[in-house]
Structures are given as structure tokens and as C-alpha cells.
């Protein structure tokens, strides 16, 4: 059997093992119970799976994308259009039955990540079996596997590509061939295309550090290294430039889009709705908000005792029976666990003792620096980066970088297994001391159990403020502290028992009572049992959402028949089923919002004119909500539909404004707070008055002016589409044409064929000044950064294709010469 076939068989074996380990979520008609999946991701999958394959696989780069159904109009300026290139995603969602296709997509990417670590470990000299373990650790370690619990599908997909970036980069550094630097750039770009930009950003940071460290090592330590300075500098520059051009179709639009969002130095929270208001909570991400998801230093103990601070549950559904205590640590909350298995930590010292080469130090740096980074606000290190390093302050959840330490542990474990199987290592005194250290660990843990049992009252009283703190899942009760402390003791017992088993295995091997051929299988078996116990707590299934049934909910069926020019506002419910039925919805809960829109939501009031100017014609409420707020809503909102069971009601807004109107009065107000205050004033007349932010370029009436009886004119909508609006305006006096659509810089307008400026009006809407006469107005969503980025990416693809074709030609030429 050839070496290539052996490698293929091992990688396929890795895939088969992952299918077995995650079979619970694969071979089922149910869906992973995670809000991010049930409320968001599922609906996109449903849309893809319903499309013909030819249409699904087509690539459409003509439009930057303005979603008219979501959030009163939503875009990231084309930053997500690169999803057209994710053909494996499309195929999986089309081929596999819904909803299990989501789990297959997750496991496929786990395999991609595991195979990447495997190939990297093989590249740096690890054996097949050792590399197999390294790849397995990367995806089975609960730190990564528990992302299933949170429903972070695209985060998993993005993480899985990281090892391949390192693999191709390392190949380029070893042979100094430009094709591998270009391939690494392509891989990094495709990682970015998967949509989790924070993970992609952290990968780029890690690649940058890796490239500097490896290049310096080559120059300093390798023979003739000093002569390679300019070549290495050039190749690394090629990687950087090629990555930036390839990713431009996403990076340029997103960079422009982010300038006006609450992540342009601030950060937003979640939007909540009730019959009284809609509010974007935690709207300003200050320093504390940005660092709330920092790993508390004491939780490093959870690397050995996984349930020490409780284990996280999901945000939806009943409480799982196999979690005795939910997370009660100092982070705001977490749906994942920081555990990576005990085996990688036991193996980590071996490369430090017996193989202190560049790869050992690089992998160790990934572990140490990654953990230090994840501690966020608890370290000066991260605080300095937050203040001075570009991009760090755009993201929250510093703990998200933990996939880098997991990869580092996988690589170190692979190197360690080969050392374990080396007879010279096994018979050395240093190895005997290492085994003693392994044996000491369960003893230390047993002593810790004794301390917890005998002095529990002291520690509970000392840290009662933390241990007794109720959470969103566990309310205050007399049993709460006892439950958490007993769980801590039980988890320590389990960790001590597992450590003892490992100690026995290592001791038997050191004494020759366990064959070297059996050792790797025993270690992998114990690792899978260890991590499987934890991972089983994070894989819950429920039935496919009832909203996916072919029969629409009555209120949705009613609204689906209404004109698309008007919007609906579901109060306290999930907006996604409405959007899936192509019903324009006023808002959706997004962590990143346009700054103007966020401020509008913070001040939103149903009783004001704010719903009117946004064309919110329908409000959906439960019967209980309506009865509770009937007095406040009466007069403005009238019931027009009640579901057959009487549970849901649709209310019609009788003061809603049309899609476009002419306002003859302009009032300049520069302070957003004043604008938002005026919009909430019941006396404000948005059909007459336009609140603008700069002096009008044409004479306009002021407040209190007498209006002609005929009014300012009429507006007729000819075409209303997501990215194009055509209308005719018959104007009798200087007026502001106001659209019930969000103001956004990517929109461009013409009036009678001439370019016209779009102005922000009423804080969130768009407007155009018109003079008397008949005018044809066109608005098109056509952001320039997207167009530039698209062509740069396409050129990069063409360049890569040329270099790849050159490599194929050279390979065939070499093969022919050899023959």
C-alpha cells in the first residue's frame, strides 16, 4: 500500500470515528436545541434546502444585498456575499434531510479541522497515530465540541479552517515556494467568508505571530538562513497582500459598514420588545462590556475539574437532567465549557522535557498566550492590546480565542505520543520522574477533596457572594449553595479518579506491564470516555420547529397577504417565521446594529409617531398582551385579525404613513437626543415636518408656517424592491421627499436622471429635497466598497488559478522527464 493511501485511510478513519462520536445528533429527525439554531440558523438552512440544486450552486455577485424583510432593512454592504463560494455548505444542506443536515454540517467541519491538525502534525514529523490523536483532540475537546450547545454553527465552521492555514503556511516556510503562501492566503480568506469574523481575526493574529517567529528562527538557526531574509520577507508580504486582496469582497464592505455600527468602538446588546416599547439593551459596549466574557483566572482549575464552576445549559427549553449545577462563575454567562480533557495536559510536559524544538515552543506559546489572552480584563496583557492594538477593541468575548490553545495542545499531544513510544525515552530517568509527576496528580486531587469535605463551611462562607449568587437559570433558594458545593466535590472526585486511572496506565507502561502497541489505544479510549462524559451534557435534541410546518400560523398567513410596503412588529415573539414568509419586520435582535438604528430602538415607543414613519402598519400581540395594554393602544391600534384559537391578535396602526410622502417644513436639529425626543412627542407631525441635520439646500417652510390647502403634492411608488425604488413625485412647493426606509450611505439616488444627494431625516429615514414640478426619482443600493472588493477578489482568484495551473504543468513536466 502506498504512503498516500495509508494517509487517506487514517483520515477516513478519523471521519468514521467522529461520525460514531456524534451519531446522537446525526442520525435523528430532531434538531439541536440551541436558540441560535432554532431562531436563526435553521431558517437559512430551510431556505437553501428548498431551492433547486442548480440555483443553489450558482454564484451571484451582482448585488451587495439589502434585506427588505429584516430589521426595517438590513445589510452588511455585501460582506456576506462571499457565502456564494461556500459550495460544501450548500451541498450538505441540500443533500442531507432537514434538520439533521445542520448537525452533519457541524460534524463535517469538525472533520475538516481534525484533518487539518492531522496534516500539520504529519508535516512537522509526527507519526500517523500521534497525528490522529492530535486531530481528535482539536475537535473532541469540550472547549470546541460544546459550541454545539450554543448553536454556534458558523463559529465551528470558521474554527475548522484554522489548522489548514497553518499547514499551508508551514509548507511554504519549509520549501519557500510561493504557491503555498498563496494557498495559505486563500485559506485565510475562505475562513473569513464563513462569517465569524472574530475567529478569523484571531486566526490572522496567530498566523502573524507564527510567521514572525518561524521566519526569525529560519534566519537565526538554519544554515544559510541569513541569506533568506529578503526572500522570507517577500514571501510573507505576498501572503499578506494576497490574503487582503482575496478577502476584499468581504473585508472592504465590512470595514465600511462597521464604521457606523455600535462596534465602531462601542457595542450593542439585545433588543427586547413588549407592548409598550422596543429596546436595545446594553446598547453601549464600554470597556467592561467588551471584556465581560473574560476567563476568570480561578477557572483554570476547570481545565482539570470540568464541572468545578458548574456546566452551562442552553437558553431555551427545559433544564437538562444530566447537569447537576449550572455555571455560576464570574463571567456574565457561558454556554460552553473550558475543559479540554485531562490527557492533553498529562502529555504536555513530555515535549518540554525531550523535544525542545521550534514546534514545541510554538505550540506551547499558542497554549500559554492563548489562555492569557482569553483572561481578558484580568490581565494587563489584554488591556494593553485592547488600548493599542488595532482591531482588538472591536470584539468582545476574549475567551473566544481558546480554539488556538486547543490546537496547540493537540500538536503537543501528538509530539508527546511519539516520545512515549520511543524506547530511549521510556528507559530514561527523566521519564521516570515524569511518571512520578503523573502519579502525584491524583494524590493532590484527593487531598483537595479532603479539604473540600472537611473545611467546606469555611470556603463557602468566604466566597458566599459568588457561590450564592443566583443566575438567570437558577433563582435564589436555600439549596442553591449546597447544590453547587456538592457538585464541586463530586466533580473533584471524578477528576481524581480519572487521574488515578491515567497514573496506573503510565506506571504500568513505564514498568513494562503495558505493551507499547496497546498504550495509544488505551490513552485514546480514556480520552474519549473523559471528554464524552462532558460532551454528552451539551448535545440536546428537540423536534423540528413547529413553525416549519407547511401550514402557516394564522397570523402569519394573514400578514403574508398584505402589501410589502408595510411592516409588522411581533411583540415579544420570534420574528424569523414572519421573515421566512416574506413579511417585512420592523426589527430583529442583533448584537451589532447601525448606530442610528440602535439609538432609535433605545427610544422607541409604540404610542408615538415612531412606528408611523417606519411604515409599521401591523402589530402582533398575544391576547393577554393586548388586554394588558389595551388602554394605551386604543385609538391608534385596532384589532383586525384574531387567530381561530383566540391566542394571537393582529392590530392595525391607523396613523401609519405611506412608503413615501412630501414634507414642506424642515427643522434643523443636530443633537440626536433632541430628534428622538421630538419623534416621541405626540404633537409631532411627521407628515408635514422633516427633522434634518444640516441646512436645507433649497428654501423650506419653517415651523408654524401656513400651508396651502392643496398640500405639497403627491407621490406614487412605481417599483418597490429590495435594492431599487422608483417613484414619481408631483411637487407643488419646495419639499423634502421622505421615505419610510432607513438612511444608509450605500444608497444612491437620481432625480430626473441627475445624481441627487440622500439626506438623513427624522434620525433614521432617508430624504431628498425636491422643487416644484414632476419628478422621476430612483434609489439604488450600490455601495462602492463592495464593487471594489468584488473585483479585487475575482482578480485574486484568477492569479491563484494561474499559479495553480503552473504547478500542475510543472508536476506533469517533471513526471514526464522522470519517465
**For residue 781, is pLDDT > 80?**
yes
Distance from C-alpha of 594 to C-alpha of 589, rounded to nearest angstrom: 12
Task: Give the Å distances, CA to CA, from 403 to 98, 338, 371, 661.
Answer: 28, 10, 10, 52
HSE-CB for 67 with a 13 A CA cutoff: 21
User: How high does pLDDT run on average in the chain?
Assistant: 90
**For residue 666, is pLDDT > 60?**
yes
- Segment 377-387 mean pLDDT: 93
Helices then strands (H, E): number in the chain? 35, 19
**For residue 436, is pLDDT > 90?**
yes
DSSP secondary structure code for residue 326 in this structure: B
**For residue 397, is pLDDT > 70?**
yes
711 CB-near residues (< 8 Å, 6+ apart): 662, 732
Contact 265, 289 (CB under 8 A): no
- Segment 423-437 mean pLDDT: 95
- Segment 507-528 mean pLDDT: 94
Q: What is the pLDDT of residue 559?
A: 94
DSSP calls for 346-388: HHTHHHHHH--SHHHHHHHHHHHHHHHHHTGGGSHHHHHHHHH
pLDDT tens-digit readout, 56-109: 888 989 899 999 999 999 999 999 899 999 999 999 999 999 899 999 999 999
**For residue 292, is pLDDT > 50?**
yes
| Per-residue H/E/C for 647-703 | CEEEEEECCCCCCEEEECEEEECCCHHHHHHHHHCCCCCCCCEEEECCCCCCCCECC
Closest CA to 270 of 472, 128, 466, 446: 472
Distance from C-alpha of 435 to C-alpha of 327, rounded to nearest angstrom: 34
710 CB-near residues (< 8 Å, 6+ apart): 732
% of the chain with per-residue pLDDT over 70: 95
Pairing of strands 665-668, 660-663: unpaired
What the block records as the C-alpha cell of 177 is 515556494
**For residue 549, is pLDDT > 60?**
no
**For residue 622, is pLDDT > 50?**
yes
Task: Give the Å distances, CA to CA, from 46 to 229, 313, 428, 576, 680.
Answer: 52, 26, 59, 12, 39
Contact 705, 665 (CB under 8 A): yes
Count of CB atoms situated within 10 Å of the CB of 294: 23
150 CB-near residues (< 8 Å, 6+ apart): 34, 36, 314, 335, 336
pLDDT tens-digit readout, 102-132: 999 999 999 999 999 999 999 999 999 999 9
**For residue 320, is pLDDT > 80?**
no
Q: What is the pLDDT of residue 738?
A: 97
Distance from C-alpha of 374 to C-alpha of 291, rounded to nearest angstrom: 10
**For residue 421, is pLDDT > 90?**
yes
Distance from C-alpha of 757 to C-alpha of 777, rounded to nearest angstrom: 11
Q: What is the pLDDT of residue 589?
A: 81
Whole-prediction pTM: 0.89
Closest CA to 757 of 687, 665, 671, 692: 692
| Per-residue H/E/C for 699-753 | CCECCCCCCCCCCCEEEEEEEECCCEEEEEEEECCCEEEEEEEECCCCEEEEECC
Count of CB atoms situated within 10 Å of the CB of 108: 21
Sequence-distant contacts of 213-222: CB under 8 A, at least 24 apart: 213/358, 213/362, 213/365, 214/170, 214/173, 214/358, 214/362, 215/173, 217/358, 218/173, 221/358
Residue with cell 466598497: 785
Q: What is the pLDDT of residue 269?
A: 35
Provide the pLDDT confidence category of residue 281 given band limits of 50, 70 and 90.
very low
Strands in 424-578 per DSSP E:
541-542, 567-570
Q: What is the pLDDT of residue 280?
A: 40
**For residue 270, is pLDDT > 60?**
no
Count of CB atoms situated within 10 Å of the CB of 805: 10
What the block records as the C-alpha cell of 598 is 440602535
Contact 508, 514 (CB under 8 A): yes
Q: What is the pLDDT of residue 266?
A: 42
703 CB-near residues (< 8 Å, 6+ apart): 665, 667, 689
pLDDT tens-digit readout, 159-186: 999 999 999 999 999 999 999 999 999 9
Contact 764, 742 (CB under 8 A): yes
Distance from C-alpha of 491 to C-alpha of 530, rounded to nearest angstrom: 12
Distance from C-alpha of 167 to C-alpha of 405, rounded to nearest angstrom: 16
Task: Give the Å distances, CA to CA, from 299 to 310, 372, 443.
Answer: 11, 12, 21
Distance from C-alpha of 431 to C-alpha of 19, rounded to nearest angstrom: 36
Provide the pLDDT confidence category of residue 550 given band limits of 50, 70 and 90.
very low
Distance from C-alpha of 601 to C-alpha of 588, rounded to nearest angstrom: 11
Closest CA to 405 of 331, 498, 499, 338: 338
What the block records as the C-alpha cell of 426 is 521510556
What the block records as the C-alpha cell of 696 is 436645507
Range with the poorest average pLDDT among 282-296, 337-351, 527-541, 660-674: 282-296
Task: Give the Å distances, CA to CA, from 478 to 309, 328, 469, 482.
Answer: 18, 16, 12, 8
**For residue 235, is pLDDT > 60?**
yes
Range with the poorest average pLDDT among 7-16, 255-264, 291-300: 255-264
Task: Give the Å distances, CA to CA, from 203 to 158, 230, 400.
Answer: 10, 25, 11
Contact 71, 587 (CB under 8 A): yes
Biggest CA–CA distance in the chain, Å, is: 103
Q: What is the pLDDT of residue 268?
A: 36
HSE-CB for 492 with a 13 A CA cutoff: 20
pLDDT tens-digit readout, 788-798: 999 999 999 99
Provide the pLDDT confidence category of residue 208 given band limits of 50, 70 and 90.
very high
Contact 602, 283 (CB under 8 A): yes
- Segment 372-384 mean pLDDT: 94
Closest CA to 553 of 651, 643, 626: 643
Taking the C-alpha atoms of 20, 25, 30 and 32 in order, what is their torsion angle to the nearest 10 degrees? 180
What the block records as the C-alpha cell of 161 is 479552517
Count of CB atoms situated within 10 Å of the CB of 779: 23
Q: What is the pLDDT of residue 395?
A: 87
DSSP secondary structure code for residue 256 in this structure: H
Provide the pLDDT confidence category of residue 406 given band limits of 50, 70 and 90.
very high
Pairing of strands 567-570, 271-273: unpaired
Closest CA to 772 of 726, 719, 693, 708: 708
Distance from C-alpha of 24 to C-alpha of 376, rounded to nearest angstrom: 35
Task: Tell me the CA end-to-end span of the chain in Å, nearest whole number.
Answer: 22
Q: What is the pLDDT of residue 314?
A: 67
Instruction: Give the length of the chain.
Output: 819
Distance from C-alpha of 308 to C-alpha of 690, rounded to nearest angstrom: 58
Provide the pLDDT confidence category of residue 813 given band limits of 50, 70 and 90.
confident
Distance from C-alpha of 411 to C-alpha of 134, rounded to nearest angstrom: 6
- Segment 285-311 mean pLDDT: 89
Count of CB atoms situated within 10 Å of the CB of 533: 16
Amino acid at each position: 500500500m502506498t504512503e498516500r493511501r495509508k494517509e487517506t485511510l487514517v483520515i477516513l478513519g478519523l471521519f468514521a470515528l467522529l461520525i460514531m462520536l456524534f451519531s446522537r445528533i446525526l442520525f435523528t429527525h430532531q434538531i439541536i436545541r440551541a436558540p441560535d439554531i432554532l431562531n436563526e440558523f435553521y431558517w437559512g438552512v430551510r431556505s437553501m434546502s428548498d431551492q433547486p440544486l442548480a440555483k443553489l450552486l450558482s454564484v451571484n455577485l451582482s448585488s451587495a444585498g439589502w434585506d427588505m424583510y429584516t430589521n426595517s432593512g438590513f445589510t452588511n454592504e455585501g460582506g456576506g456575499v462571499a457565502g456564494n463560494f461556500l459550495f460544501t455548505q450548500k451541498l450538505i444542506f441540500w443533500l442531507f434531510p432537514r434538520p439533521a443536515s445542520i448537525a452533519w454540517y457541524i460534524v463535517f467541519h469538525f472533520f475538516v479541522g481534525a484533518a487539518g491538525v492531522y496534516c500539520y502534525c504529519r508535516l512537522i514529523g509526527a507519526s500517523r497515530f500521534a497525528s490522529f490523536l492530535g486531530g481528535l483532540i482539536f475537535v473532541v475537546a469540550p472547549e470546541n465540541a460544546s459550541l454545539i450547545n450554543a448553536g454556534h454553527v458558523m463559529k465551528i465552521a470558521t474554527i475548522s479552517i484554522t489548522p489548514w492555514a497553518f499547514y499551508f503556511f508551514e509548507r511554504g516556510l519549509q520549501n519557500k515556494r510561493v504557491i503555498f503562501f498563496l494557498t495559505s492566503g486563500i485559506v485565510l480568506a475562505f475562513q473569513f467568508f464563513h462569517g465569524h469574523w472574530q475567529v478569523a481575526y484571531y486566526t490572522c493574529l496567530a498566523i502573524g505571530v507564527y510567521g514572525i517567529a518561524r521566519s526569525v528562527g529560519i534566519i537565526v538557526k538554519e544554515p544559510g538562513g541569513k541569506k533568506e531574509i529578503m526572500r522570507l520577507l517577500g514571501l510573507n508580504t505576498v501572503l499578506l497582500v494576497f490574503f487582503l486582496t482575496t478577502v476584499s469582497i468581504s473585508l472592504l464592505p465590512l470595514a465600511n459598514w462597521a464604521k457606523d455600527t455600535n462596534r465602531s468602538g462601542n457595542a450593542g446588546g439585545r433588543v427586547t420588545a413588549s407592548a409598550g416599547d422596543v429596546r436595545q439593551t446594553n446598547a453601549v459596549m464600554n470597556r467592561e462590556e467588551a471584556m465581560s466574557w473574560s476567563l476568570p483566572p480561578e477557572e483554570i482549575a476547570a481545565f482539570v475539574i470540568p464541572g468545578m464552576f458548574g456546566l452551562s445549559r442552553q437558553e431555551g427549553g427545559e433544564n437538562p437532567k444530566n447537569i447537576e449545577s449550572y455555571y455560576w462563575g464570574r463571567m456574565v454567562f457561558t454556554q460552553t465549557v473550558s475543559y479540554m480533557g485531562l490527557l492533553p495536559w498529562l502529555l504536555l510536559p513530555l515535549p518540554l522535557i525531550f523535544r525542545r524544538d521550534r514546534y514545541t515552543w510554538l505550540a506551547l506559546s499558542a497554549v500559554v498566550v492563548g489562555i492569557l489572552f482569553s483572561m481578558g480584563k484580568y490581565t494587563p496583557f489584554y488591556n494593553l492590546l485592547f488600548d493599542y492594538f488595532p482591531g482588538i477593541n472591536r470584539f468582545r468575548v476574549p475567551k473566544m480565542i481558546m480554539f488556538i490553545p486547543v490546537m496547540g495542545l493537540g500538536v503537543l499531544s501528538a509530539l508527546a505520543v511519539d516520545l512515549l513510544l520511543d524506547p530511549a525515552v521510556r528507559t530514561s530517568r527523566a521519564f521516570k520522574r515524569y511518571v512520578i509527576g503523573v502519579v502525584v496528580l491524583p494524590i493532590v486531587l484527593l487531598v483537595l477533596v479532603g479539604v473540600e469535605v472537611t473545611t467546606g463551611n469555611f470556603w463557602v462562607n468566604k466566597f458566599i457572594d459568588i457561590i450564592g449568587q443566583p443566575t438567570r437559570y437558577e433563582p435564589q433558594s436555600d439549596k442553591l449553595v449546597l447544590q453547587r458545593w456538592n457538585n464541586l466535590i463530586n466533580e473533584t472526585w471524578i477528576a481524581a479518579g480519572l487521574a488515578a486511572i491515567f497514573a496506573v496506565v503510565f506506571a504500568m507502561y513505564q514498568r513494562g506491564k503495558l505493551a507499547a502497541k496497546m498504550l495509544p489505544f488505551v490513552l485514546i479510549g480514556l480520552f474519549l470516555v473523559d471528554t464524552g462524559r462532558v460532551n454528552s451534557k451539551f448535545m440536546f435534541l428537540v423536534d423540528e420547529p413547529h413553525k416549519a410546518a407547511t401550514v402557516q400560523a394564522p397570523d402569519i398567513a394573514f400578514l403574508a397577504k398584505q402589501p410589502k410596503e408595510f411592516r409588522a412588529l411581533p411583540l415579544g415573539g420570534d420574528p424569523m417565521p414572519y421573515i421566512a414568509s416574506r413579511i417585512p419586520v420592523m426589527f430583529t435582535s442583533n448584537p451589532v446594529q447601525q448606530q442610528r438604528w440602535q439609538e432609535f430602538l433605545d427610544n422607541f415607543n409604540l404610542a408615538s409617531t415612531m412606528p408611523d414613519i417606519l411604515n409599521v402598519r401591523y402589530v402582533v400581540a398575544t391576547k393577554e398582551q393586548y388586554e394588558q395594554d389595551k388602554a394605551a393602544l386604543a385609538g391608534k391600534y385596532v384589532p383586525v385579525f384574531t387567530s381561530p384559537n383566540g391566542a394571537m391578535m393582529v392590530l392595525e396602526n391607523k396613523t401609519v404613513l405611506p412608503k413615501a410622502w412630501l414634507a414642506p417644513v424642515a427643522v434643523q436639529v443636530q443633537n440626536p437626543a433632541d430628534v428622538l425626543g421630538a419623534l416621541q412627542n405626540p404633537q409631532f407631525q411627521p407628515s408635514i415636518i422633516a427633522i434634518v441635520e444640516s441646512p436645507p439646500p433649497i428654501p423650506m417652510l419653517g415651523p408654524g408656517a401656513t400651508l396651502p390647502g392643496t398640500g405639497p403634492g403627491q407621490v406614487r411608488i412605481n417599483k418597490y424592491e429590495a435594492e431599487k425604488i422608483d417613484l414619481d413625485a408631483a411637487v407643488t412647493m419646495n419639499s423634502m421627499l421622505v421615505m419610510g426606509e432607513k438612511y444608509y450611505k450605500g444608497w444612491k439616488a437620481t432625480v430626473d436622471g441627475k445624481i441627487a444627494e440622500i439626506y438623513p431625516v427624522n434620525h433614521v429615514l432617508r430624504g431628498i429635497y425636491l422643487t416644484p414640478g414632476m419628478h422621476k426619482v430612483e434609489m439604488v443600493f450600490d455601495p462602492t466598497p463592495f464593487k471594489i472588493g468584488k473585483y479585487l477578489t475575482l482578480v485574486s482568484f484568477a492569479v491563484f488559478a494561474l499559479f495553480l495551473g503552473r504547478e500542475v504543468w510543472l508536476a506533469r513536466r517533471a513526471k514526464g522527464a522522470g519517465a
